[in-house]
Structure 1
Amino acid sequence: MSHSHHQGHHHHHDLKGRNLGISIFLNIVITIAQVIGGLISGSLALLSDALHNFSDVLSLIVSYIANALSKKKASTNKTFGYKRAEIIAAFVNAATLMVVAIFLIIEAVKRFYKPEEIGSDLVIWLSIIAIIGNGFSVLLIKKDADVNMNMKSAYLHLLTDMLASVAVLIGGVLMKFYSIFWIDPLLTLLIALYLIYMGFDLLKESTNVLMLFTPKTIAVQEIVATISEIKLIKNVHHVHIWQLNEEEIHLEAHVDFKEDIKLSEFDEILEQIEERVYHQYGVNHVNIQPEYGKCDNKKIIVQD
């Protein structure tokens, strides 16, 4: 059995950690201010925004810890190291988005039946502070969010909270000048539905990685056909393709040869396989078991 891989791209962990640290501090300040302001003003939207900000703090801490763990090297009892830490963080953060959203929907429905007068001035000023703080945090981690699932989960928390604060600001203005107090639970409901919309895809994506599902960009039959085009390869079977994290896609398979080739010939063929699957499918870890005349079912492409 032979194993080889192409080196994946490494991101600037220290910079990510610093940016996450700044975002954590800003969100702690915003959360404390919004809780106090929400209790004084009686604004459910402001309190719901504070709750979401608190979930931001927790999610950012999870992301920070996962980012730190991902730097640790592999060992004899952890041969993959902590490469999955950031995927777990993304899953946890996406799940918390959904839980927070459900809680907000319940509270919004209750307030619809019993609307309350709200101190709009405090709501307006605190929402402006939250927009500035979260907007700065969003800009800090946006670049890494494009290529890292963990950072994307943190980014979504911050982005949705910034948008929620914009909604709260609009509601505060409408309450101040038009006394439309039912806008408060309505905005809360819209915020919650947006959280579900944003969080579901990330939850599904992180679940797929944790369950070792084949990446949606790769068709197993197609990659088998590509490898089978190489001279001397008779059959490709017992294939497993999975994503370890954002940077690593693994392929393992049994390859049946037409001839009883030398080990040096196999090495040349293995290099061809690596180049094809890397450049065409982004697979950067290849593990091939060579076979010749072995009595097993060659028709089974995928097997437990």
Structure 2
Amino acid sequence: MGHSHHHHHHHPTTGGRNLLISIVLNILITIAQAVGGFLSGSLSLLSDALHNLSDVLSLVISYIANVLTRREPSTSKTFGYKRAEIIAAFVNSASLIVIAVFLIIEAVERFLEPQSIDSGIVIWLSLLGILANGFSVLLIRKDSGKNMNMRSAYLHLLTDMMASVAVLAGGILMYYFNWFWIDPALTIAIALYLIYMGYDLLRSATRVLMLFSPDHIRVQEIVGSISALDAVKNVHHVHLWQLNEDSIHLEAHIDFHSDILLSEFEVILSEIERKMLRDYGINHLSIQPEFGKCDSKQIIAQH
């Protein structure tokens, strides 16, 4: 069986220390906003605290993933810890949606029975959230272009800051106009945004964990591309999946027109590798060459 892969080495991110600082800051904000939410009776402040908590988890996941992906594979863990990030993303996004639904139910109840809110606490704690998240955004910004982990951490912190700005605006309106309905309205808006973000992440993580083919690659196109080679009779038993965000795997059986030499197969395999990497970003191939073998020639078939 021909087997090939192109390594993408993971180097320690220079933003590791900045991530740790952001984690500590966000834990402090979360505690302060949660306590303030209970004391003031503000549901939007509590929802912002939960939003911050979800982002603490995301930042921790980003940090752990950076550490784990540098660990070498072993005989008992041949893929290493490459899927740790995906599993964590699945759990994180699922819990995010559950929290958001809970917030919407609470907000609807608050609409039906409006409550007086200590808007002073809401204003000061949302200001704290803006300052701390703003500082974290500046810390992470430089490293956000280096890898997907840091980019997602940066976006989470940026949305946190925007949510705190919304809560501040709500606090000011409650303070000057006693518009207490603003609080549950903001809560629903933040919760719907969490569902939107959470669903997209949950869907992506589920696709990877279930070994679904990547969205942007069509199996029929790959089969057509390989079948266009003169020596190839057909391509069957195809499996296409993502190990993680950086690694796309292709496994296939290739039936040849003639009983070619192993050295000839190696030349053809090298050409397939180049095509797959260049055209589809597939960086790990396992090809089984066949000649005159009586097996199913279906493109997608169970072994």
TM over 0.5: yes
Change (3 A) 1:105 1:75: same
Deviations 1:157-189 (A, max 9, x none): 434432221211110111111110111011001
**Cα distance in structure 2, aligned partners of 1:277 and 1:62:** 31
**Cα distance in structure 2, aligned partners of 1:88 and 1:80:** 14
CA contact (8 A) 1:153 1:202 kept: no
**Cα distance in structure 2, aligned partners of 1:203 and 1:145:** 22
- 1:60 matched to 2:59? The reply is yes
Question: What CA RMSD, in Å, does the superposition of the two structures yield over aligned residues?
Answer: 2.0
Structure 1 runs (4+) greater than 6 angstroms displaced = 143-147
**Cα distance in structure 2, aligned partners of 1:152 and 1:69:** 18
Match of 1:6 in 2: 6
Q: Bigger CA drift: 24-33 or 266-275? A: 24-33
1:237 shift after superposition:
0.6
Matched length: 302
1:93 shift after superposition:
1.8
1:148 shift after superposition:
5.6
Match of 1:286 in 2: 285
Change (3 A) 1:75 1:11: closer
Instruction: Return the letter of the residue paired with 1:3.
Output: H
Deviations 1:9-58 (A, max 9, x none): x4543334323212210111111221232233222211221222223323
* TM-score, normalised by the number of residues in structure 1: 0.92
- 1:241 matched to 2:227? The reply is no
Q: Which runs of 5+ in 2 are unaligned?
A: none
**Cα distance in structure 2, aligned partners of 1:94 and 1:153:** 13
**Cα distance in structure 2, aligned partners of 1:14 and 1:205:** 24
CA contact (8 A) 2:47 2:190 kept: no
CA contact (8 A) 1:90 1:153 kept: no
CA contact (8 A) 1:89 1:150 kept: no
**Cα distance in structure 1, aligned partners of 2:144 and 2:97:** 19
CA contact (8 A) 1:112 1:185 kept: yes
CA contact (8 A) 2:256 2:291 kept: yes
1:106 shift after superposition:
1.5
Instruction: Return the letter of the residue paired with 2:209.
Output: L
Instruction: Return the letter of the residue paired with 1:80.
Output: F
Identity rate of aligned residues, in percent? Answer: 67
Change (3 A) 1:263 1:213: same
